[in-house]
């Protein structure tokens, strides 16, 4: 580490703190409004720079030994508290920020010592240029890519994998900042840059690995949704064919009804005619298909799957009150209701019980839509982070359900209770005429 006055240390600390805090904020979705978050970052950054500069002034040796390493927990704790993301994603972003800080520091120090005889202003200039370059690239190129893939990272990355990455970066940093090896030499310079290079490659590879895995799951969910849509279309076509057959039968029977009515009229048997018409009206009423609810998409989905369930001798009861103008996309109704019903039928069939039931409840209360499904189930169900998984892996269509629910700032709840599997969903559809923006976030 190069020397210098208090003001030189202040400049170095400002560049380092500004780089780490700005980089983290660019890739973050804060828990507070952005203006308030920026204000908090500025206050914390000024306070941190002041404390570290005073540390340099009062205890230079301990500052040289420990300042760089200490920034990681200090800034990391603050950024994690400010972030609205899960802890392990904050750890990952902090590791990235610390890595870039290390690159800027070593470039500044070693360029100055190698070519300019340890000139402090060259060190500061190199650090500043690298920091500006990193932040410019992050803002214009990397930020959009990262934020577009952040939900994939949340879905795929867990605390163990994030801690593994964090520890690997910490080990690399400890080796790079080891006090006894900070003397200037070609060996130390090559060693430090090799360590930083390997840490950078590791982080880059892990970032793309998690995003790729997330995209694979996303495309798999899209494939499952298309398959469900195809099944629903086949069911709708079957219903249409049955309706056509029923209409043809009615047209055929109308001729006989007309002849019989004419016979009654010709004979003047008015009482018999009225009795016959009453019987005919009751028969027509009994054969009429009653709508489950006013919403056409919900009505079609539930009708198709209720027919499928009843064909398996499953008792189906529904209490559905959904208005026609509810601002939920038809494809999301398919993803939610079709998958729920499909899983319920699957659970009933594999229960092995003589009496199998499915109960569906859907209602709108205020600006919320509540969905509940209760079905017979005797199989053991494994839950991972509250999500049911079958013995062959994740439950059928569960990811599609959760993805569709997340578009409406919704919540899901799955549990098994006394031989009954319960699925509960809460949706918050946007108000009528509101701009429609759908953001993929999996909430539990």
The pLDDT of residue 117 is above 80: no
How many Å apart are CA 358 and CA 312, to the nearest integer?
12
Within 10 angstroms of residue 112's Cβ, the number of other Cβ atoms is 21
pLDDT at 39: 94
pLDDT band at 15 (very low <50, low <70, confident <90, very high): very high
Note the pLDDT of residue 170: 64
What pLDDT score was predicted for residue 155? 67
Q: Pick the residue with more confidence: 288 or 113?
A: 113
**Residue 313 clears pLDDT 70, i.e. is over it:** yes
Rounded to two decimals, what is the model's pTM? 0.56
The whole-number pLDDT of residue 197 equals 76
pLDDT in the model for residue 240: 64
Q: Token digits for 41? A: 């970052």
Contact 164/198 with Cβ under 8 angstroms?
A: no
Stronger pLDDT, 333 or 393, i.e. the higher one: 333
Give the residue with greater pLDDT, 25 vs 242.
Answer: 25
Exposure letters 400-427 (e unless 16+ CB within 10 A, then b): bbbbbbbbbebebebebeeebbbbebbb
Q: What is the pLDDT of residue 21?
A: 93
CA distances from 230 to 106, 297, 338, 357 (A): 58, 15, 11, 25
Q: Do residues 196 and 103 make contact, with C-beta atoms less than 8 angstroms apart?
A: yes
Say what the pLDDT of residue 137 is. 92
pLDDT at 402: 83
Pairing mode, strands 387-390 and 420-427: unpaired
What is the rounded CA–CA span in Å between residue 228 and residue 337?
10
Q: Is-contact 422 374, C-beta < 8 A?
A: yes
CA distance 347 to 340: 11
pLDDT for residue 266:
80
Give the span between the Cα atoms of 255 and 396, in whole angstroms: 50
State residue 439's pLDDT score: 38
CA neighbours closer than 13 Å in the CB half-sphere of residue 102: 29
Which range, of 47-61, 146-160, 328-342, averages the lowest pLDDT?
Answer: 146-160
* 124-132 long-range Cβ contacts below 8 angstroms, 24+ apart: 124/8, 124/11, 124/12, 124/15, 127/12, 127/15, 127/16, 128/15, 130/103, 130/104, 131/15, 131/18, 131/19, 131/104
pLDDT at 82 over 70: yes
CA distance 325 to 329: 11
Residue 394 has pLDDT above 50, yes or no: no
C-alpha to C-alpha distance for 396 and 381, rounded to whole angstroms:
12
Place 59 in a pLDDT band, splitting at 50, 70 and 90.
confident
Q: Domain 296-427: which topology?
A: Heat Shock Protein 90 (3.30.565)
Q: Which residue has the tokens 């709840």?
A: 413
Domain spans of the chain, in order of start: 6-222, 296-427
Tell whether the model's pLDDT for residue 38 goes beyond 90: yes
In this structure, what token pair is assigned to residue 151?
């939900």
Residues 86 and 32 sit within 8 Å (Cβ to Cβ): no
- Identify the pLDDT of residue 441: 40
| Neighbour count for residue 217 (Cβ, 10 Å) | 16
- Interatomic CA distance for residues 21 and 23, integer angstroms: 6
Is residue 336 within 8 Å of 294, Cβ to Cβ? no
Mean pLDDT computed over 259-276: 77
């Amino acid at each position: 580490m190069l020397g210098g006055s208090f003001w030189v240390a202040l400049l170095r600390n400002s560049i380092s703190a500004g780089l780490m805090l700005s980089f983290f904020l660019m890739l973050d979705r804060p828990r507070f409004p952005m203006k308030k978050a920026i204000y908090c970052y500025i206050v914390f950054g000024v306070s941190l720079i002041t404390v570290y500069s005073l540390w340099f002034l009062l205890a230079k040796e301990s500052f040289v030994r420990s300042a760089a390493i200490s920034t990681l927990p200090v800034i990391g704790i603050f950024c994690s508290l400010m972030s609205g993301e899960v802890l392990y994603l904050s750890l990952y972003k902090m590791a990235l920020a610390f890595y870039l800080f290390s690159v800027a520091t070593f470039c500044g120090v070693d360029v100055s010592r190698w070519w300019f005889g340890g000139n402090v202003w060259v060190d500061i200039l190199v650090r500043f240029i690298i920091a500006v370059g990193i932040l410019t690239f992050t803002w214009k190129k990397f930020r959009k890519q990262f934020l577009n893939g952040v939900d994939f990272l949340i879905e795929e990355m867990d605390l163990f994998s994030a801690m593994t990455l964090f520890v690997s970066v910490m080990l690399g940093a400890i080796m790079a900042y080891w006090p006894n090896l900070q003397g200037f030499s070609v060996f130390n310079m090559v060693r430090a840059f090799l360590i930083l290079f390997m840490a950078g490659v590791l982080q880059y590879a892990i970032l793309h690995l998690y995003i790729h895995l997330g995209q694979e799951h996303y495309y798999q969910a899209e494939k499952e949704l298309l398959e469900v849509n195809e099944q629903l279309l086949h069911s709708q076509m079957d219903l249409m064919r049955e309706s056509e057959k029923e209409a043809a039968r009615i047209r055929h029977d109308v001729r006989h009804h007309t002849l019989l009515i004419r016979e009654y009229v010709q004979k003047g048997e008015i009482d018999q005619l009225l009795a016959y018409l009453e019987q005919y009206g009751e028969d027509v009423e009994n054969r009429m298909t009653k709508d489950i609810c006013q919403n056409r998409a919900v009505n079609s989905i539930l009708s198709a799957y209720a027919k499928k369930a009843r064909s398996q001798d499953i008792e189906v009861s529904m209490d559905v009150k959904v208005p026609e103008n509810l601002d939920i996309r038809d494809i999301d109704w398919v993803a939610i209701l079709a998958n729920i019903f499909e899983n319920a039928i699957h659970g009933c069939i594999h229960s092995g019980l003589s009496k199998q039931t499915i109960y569906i409840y859907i209602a709108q209360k205020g600006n919320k839509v509540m969905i509940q499904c209760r079905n017979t189930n005797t199989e053991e169900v494994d839950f991972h982070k509250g999500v049911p998984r079958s013995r062959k892996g994740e439950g059928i269509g569960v990811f599609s359900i959760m993805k569709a629910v997340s578009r409406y700032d919704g919540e899901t709840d799955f549990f098994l209770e006394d031989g009954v599997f319960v699925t509960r969903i809460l949706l918050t559809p946007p108000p009528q005429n509101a701009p429609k923006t759908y953001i993929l976030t999996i909430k539990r």
